[in-house]
Structure 1
Amino acid sequence: MNLDLFSVMVMTALVVNTSGVLFIVETIIRRDEGAGRIWSIGFLAAMLTTIAYVLWTEMPGVAWPIAVGNAAFVAGTGCMWLGARAYNGRRMVAASAVVVLAVGGAALATMLDPVGGDWAGATWMFLALVAFAGLGAAECLRGALLESRTAWVLATVLAFQAIYFIARTSAFLIAGPDSTLFQGVFGTGNTAMLTVVLTIVAVVVTSVLRASRAPVRGYGPVAHGDRKDGIVPIAAFERDLSDVCSRAAWRSDLVGVIAIRVEDLDQISTAFGSEVARAVTDAWRAGVRRHAPSNAIVGEDGPTGLLVAMVADSPATARRNAGVIYRGLFDDLGKVGGGVLPVVGVGVSLSDTAGYDTEALVRIARDAARRAAASVETSVLVGDER
């Protein structure tokens, strides 16, 4: 069955707008913030893109629908990158300015293109899409997103978009937009079909990622010195640990860091609801604080991790303290969430092997906790400097 261009664009607009509306409505209902809001802006831009291109098919020779569509297309992909940066807690001002400039540049390039026509400003738009899709894919493979396997799917979607538009740009510049190669492989119809598939996948993935943040929202970074439920922010924890290490080094005392990671919070939130995930999170945080040694420092370590710093009499004492935390957490988590138990991994690092380097102690404990969470043999592992 062959569809004319108008029918293809209407079908694309229907799918994209339906997906976008669902995501935006859910964002409003959840009173989401941060990455969810930025992704909502991205889907809103995608909706505007499809509407503008539908108008373009019915208004041949008019430049402004193309300019609006190109600019909104760039804005939508740029917001996917910005949302990933917000999810990872990275700075947004400079990146946001880059996206705004690129969106303005796409509109101006279209309106001022000396050749004009249906492909006015296409080169600028293609290059911007390649850049933002590539940056978004890279951002999904770092920080908090790297710890979520769901984010790997979003990275794949954005990477595929970047690769596709690299090929499309090459065909556009080398063979031309009227060539058989470009029209047969990278034409508007094929690109519209690809957009439908990628949009559906992106909506599902970003919805899951947003849901994974629901149980931990409200536990974000706090000001230095402000202890929220007895747990200090990561910056304050690292400063306190550095001070402990510097004093312990003089006396050759043993410093230990215990990392506690809770996996599957995003799956629990999606399958059983944010209330169950919130209860599990509250029990986990309170349990670590309750079962840690009374003189220990407890600090944040991202949305699914906590760190405990202490001075121990011996390596055996440090390992025993880690075991007490794990067993206590297992009992506490069994009492909440209707029997839903997340995967818990506990890792330990010691200054007798890692030295009194704060970064090394934290890094080794984190790595050991990740391996413990993935291990079927043990849930408490002692890391070693390699």
Structure 2
Amino acid sequence: MVLLDRSTLMVVFALMTLTMLVLFYFDTYRKNRAPFAGWWCWAVASFFLAAVFYFMGEAEAVAWAPSVGNGVMVLGSGCVWAGTRSLAGRRILPWLLGIPAMAAFAVDASVHYSDNARIGSIVLLALMGTATGLASMELWREREDSWHRVRSLAVATAVCAVYYLSRTVGLAVLGPADPLFQVLFGTGVSMLMAMVLLVVVSSSITSLNYARRTENLQELAYHDGLTGLLNREEFMRQAQRRLRANLAAGVDTVIVMADLDRFKAINDRFGHDAGDGVIRAFAQACRLAVRDADLVGRYGGEEFALLLDGVDAAGGVRIADRINAALAEHSSLPAGADSPTASFGVVDAHDGNAGLQRLLREADRALYDAKAAGRNQAVIGLTAAGTQPG
């Protein structure tokens, strides 16, 4: 059986981390630059630098290098924790990561040449175990939402946390020369655990990054790029399904068509950037005026379509008025310009025989009646049965 010395193990670990860093950065992180993937890049880079410092201390007898390596190793473990927090969208204070790293460096440097030199290793392992344990806890908090995506990462960080904390206890109780400690927690076993963590976490982060990229592409496919509202195709798909469900359940439903007033004049006078700003302002006004359950889509150009749940035509008019009021407050036009307005056509979808396309046509006719009546208002259109509600 061939046993590798510590220097050789450090070289192997450094080469492995450097290879994984290069592959992960170019193959995963650069494709969408997700924050959690960025934190993992910093973690792997820290582990690589730590291996370099350990090698310098082991093979080149550079006195300060092991202490620096301890600090950088703790910093890398902190980056793993930061990555799991960013994965869930939780706040991170990067400067906090430097506190345990500096503590690991300071403790090891102060005891390195004393009879209590192993205290530096105990502090290192305790801090690494705590950081990876916190990372695992962050991931376990996500069980309800995306557990299937983070399961392997949560288990890997939990196993590593248990190992590092157990090694801390073993080092404190048994000491580094004890045969049992060498069997369970020797350098070779520790390097193997670190490599397993690197492989599992890199694989998991790559999978998560791919899933996020897929979600981003789906978001682009279903939503309008300028406003973030549903695009026409996705609005029609969701509105068809919602309309059928509401009619079957007897839930009141209103279809609304909206069009910005004198939009061409806005473009001609202030430019297309200003026109785009008005469109975005209208989208924001819709978000403020409607409920989360309602559907809002950009139907085309400056025209929008809405499906409102649980209201009648008169309720649809009130919501349209709220949208116009919010639009006036969020106008992006230059000071002194008239606030933009919109006209609306509102149709009650109480007739079970009316399809979505027919309701949209009726709402569009009512919209043009609103334009003809002077704009900046909502008009209730004829229902599919040929009568006007209320």
| TM-score clears 0.5 | yes
CA distance in 2, matches of 1:88, 1:297: 25
- Whichever residue aligns with residue 202 of structure 1, its letter is V
Cα deviation, residue 163, structure 1: 0.5
CA distance in 2, matches of 1:105, 1:290: 61
User: Could you tell me which residue of structure 2 aligns to residue 4 of structure 1?
Assistant: 5
Q: Aligned in 2, Cα 1:309/1:206: closer, same or farther, shift over 3 Å?
A: farther
User: Could you tell me which residue of structure 2 aligns to residue 30 of structure 1?
Assistant: 31
Cα deviation, residue 309, structure 1: 8.5
User: Could you tell me which residue of structure 2 aligns to residue 69 of structure 1?
Assistant: 69
User: Could you tell me which residue of structure 2 aligns to residue 200 of structure 1?
Assistant: 199
Contact kept in structure 1, 2:29 and 2:37, CA below 8 Å: no
Cα deviation, residue 150, structure 1: 3.0
CA distance in 1, matches of 2:235, 2:50: 44
Cα deviation, residue 170, structure 1: 0.7
User: Could you tell me which residue of structure 2 aligns to residue 178 of structure 1?
Assistant: 177
User: Could you tell me which residue of structure 1 aligns to residue 262 of structure 2?
Assistant: none
User: Could you tell me which residue of structure 2 aligns to residue 130 of structure 1?
Assistant: 129
- Give a deviation string over 1:54-92, Cα, whole Å, max 9, x none: 2222034x4322122211211111111111111101111
Q: Aligned in 2, Cα 1:283/1:219: closer, same or farther, shift over 3 Å?
A: same
User: Could you tell me which residue of structure 2 aligns to residue 90 of structure 1?
Assistant: 90
- Whichever residue aligns with residue 59 of structure 1, its letter is E
Q: Aligned in 2, Cα 1:176/1:219: closer, same or farther, shift over 3 Å?
A: same
User: Could you tell me which residue of structure 1 aligns to residue 215 of structure 2?
Assistant: 216
Cα deviation, residue 299, structure 1: 6.8
Cα deviation, residue 230, structure 1: 2.4
- Whichever residue aligns with residue 16 of structure 1, its letter is T
Alignment root-mean-square deviation, CA: 3.6
- Whichever residue aligns with residue 135 of structure 1, its letter is L
Q: Aligned in 2, Cα 1:179/1:88: closer, same or farther, shift over 3 Å?
A: same
User: Could you tell me which residue of structure 1 aligns to residue 250 of structure 2?
Assistant: none
Q: Aligned in 2, Cα 1:27/1:100: closer, same or farther, shift over 3 Å?
A: farther
Give the 3-state SS of the residue equivalent to 1:121 in structure 2.
helix
Runs (5+) with no aligned partner, structure 1: 221-226, 232-280, 301-307, 314-320, 326-386
Q: Which residue of 87, 101, 104 corresponds with 1:103?
A: 101
- Whichever residue aligns with residue 100 of structure 2, its letter is A
User: Could you tell me which residue of structure 2 aligns to residue 45 of structure 1?
Assistant: 46
User: Could you tell me which residue of structure 2 aligns to residue 19 of structure 1?
Assistant: 20
CA distance in 2, matches of 1:282, 1:54: 60
Q: Aligned in 2, Cα 1:309/1:134: closer, same or farther, shift over 3 Å?
A: farther
CA distance in 2, matches of 1:77, 1:131: 9
Percent of paired sites with the same residue:
24
Q: Aligned in 2, Cα 1:289/1:43: closer, same or farther, shift over 3 Å?
A: farther
Under a length normalisation based on structure 2, what TM-score does the superposition of the two structures give?
0.56
- Whichever residue aligns with residue 190 of structure 1, its letter is V
Instruction: Kindly report which structure 2 residues correspond to 1:283-298, keeping only aligned pairs within 5 A, or say none.
Output: 287-288=237-238, 292=242, 294=255, 297-298=291-292
User: Could you tell me which residue of structure 1 aligns to residue 164 of structure 2?
Assistant: 165
Contact kept in structure 2, 1:88 and 1:144, CA below 8 Å: no
Contact kept in structure 1, 2:130 and 2:161, CA below 8 Å: yes
Cα deviation, residue 148, structure 1: 4.0
CA distance in 1, matches of 2:60, 2:142: 45
Q: Aligned in 2, Cα 1:110/1:216: closer, same or farther, shift over 3 Å?
A: same
Cα deviation, residue 229, structure 1: 2.5
Contact kept in structure 2, 1:71 and 1:106, CA below 8 Å: yes
Cα deviation, residue 206, structure 1: 0.8
- Give a deviation string over 1:256-298, Cα, whole Å, max 9, x none: xxxxxxxxxxxxxxxxxxxxxxxxx997688446754647744
- Give a deviation string over 1:283-323, Cα, whole Å, max 9, x none: 768844675464774479xxxxxxx984279xxxxxxx9xx
- Whichever residue aligns with residue 177 of structure 2, its letter is D
CA distance in 2, matches of 1:72, 1:219: 39
User: Could you tell me which residue of structure 2 aligns to residue 188 of structure 1?
Assistant: 187
CA distance in 2, matches of 1:47, 1:79: 13
CA distance in 2, matches of 1:134, 1:128: 10
Contact kept in structure 1, 2:129 and 2:164, CA below 8 Å: yes
Q: Aligned in 2, Cα 1:143/1:287: closer, same or farther, shift over 3 Å?
A: farther
Give the 3-state SS of the residue equivalent to 1:92 in structure 2.
coil
CA distance in 1, matches of 2:236, 2:120: 56
Cα deviation, residue 190, structure 1: 1.3
User: Could you tell me which residue of structure 2 aligns to residue 153 of structure 1?
Assistant: 152
CA distance in 1, matches of 2:116, 2:180: 19
CA distance in 1, matches of 2:59, 2:35: 37
Contact kept in structure 2, 1:133 and 1:161, CA below 8 Å: yes
Larger radius of gyration: 2
Q: Aligned in 2, Cα 1:117/1:298: closer, same or farther, shift over 3 Å?
A: same
Contact kept in structure 2, 1:230 and 1:298, CA below 8 Å: no
Q: Aligned in 2, Cα 1:85/1:71: closer, same or farther, shift over 3 Å?
A: same
- Whichever residue aligns with residue 92 of structure 1, its letter is I
CA distance in 1, matches of 2:45, 2:162: 24
Contact kept in structure 1, 2:111 and 2:117, CA below 8 Å: no
